[in-house]
Structure 1
């Protein structure tokens, strides 16, 4: 068996452990706050298991962080700084090549998430590819203090927001309101590709 650990698995493990320790939580306390078993959290932190999208959603809810934040590298991302001229002074532009972007894959559903913006950018943007027949649920707490927009690019997305169901097609967008349990569903036989735009807002 290979001992090579996927860099994203290592990255998630370090971020979960750091967020837990920053709050001075024990494994048992995080398990209670998130609804994820203590054994599973321990395996994630020891880089023995890659969390599913559902587990990431529960952990992000417990930490009051976005899923993107848990996937973000504490050491930054591959990028090049390009110098140019603007408004009479030199400006720096961060160029992120598609080939350098880390893509996280849910081991359970095959859901793929590619972060478009860097941790330095004030708004989080991610591209999602949801395989045919897959569904990913998130608890209401995962959307606390967050404003989110979903923009469908290809395929069809069936979006459950509490008791409401929305059928979204290419070009459709939906701006999410108050936190509610949500499920992203692809009940077709082709992949659905959509963009998630997320911004934090202060606690009321």
Structure 2
């Protein structure tokens, strides 16, 4: 950067176009667009005033200002001629083509990453499905085992309850029979006592009647 005073600051940019090639075969940009792009690339809001070309020849250096779009087109034409001479007529990839290739590479990397992630998730899904199937089979087997154990326990409980019930019933029947036997014995004894008392009463009545007859 050159500083020629408080209000005189300017930048000289030198671009070597001796081996340059065009990035695109489209129409070149306009002079105003070029100036705007240069200012934007510098990151300043300033006006680009002068653009010059410097051509070397057998007679020395030739400086020519670029003041119109035609002057800029002539410069691009010279670059295009250099490109054809150096590349043997081979087409150079344009900036858009390079961007497409870059995006395609990034897209392929992204897709490859997604495919690997999908493959990993698919593998995990298969493992989980296998584990779930194993757990379901174990659950079926466990349910069968519990069912058999429950059935056996039910039979055992029924058998024990029936045995205890039979024992208690037999004891109760024996107790009732014993009470019935005692009751019958007591009833027989009472009956005999009543008969004896009745016989005594009858004898007393008989003696009483006999005494009455004798007194007469």
Larger Rg: 2
Q: TM-score, normalised by structure 2?
A: 0.17
More strand by share: 1
More helix by share: 2
More relative contact order in 1 or in 2 (CA 8 Å, sep 6+)? 1
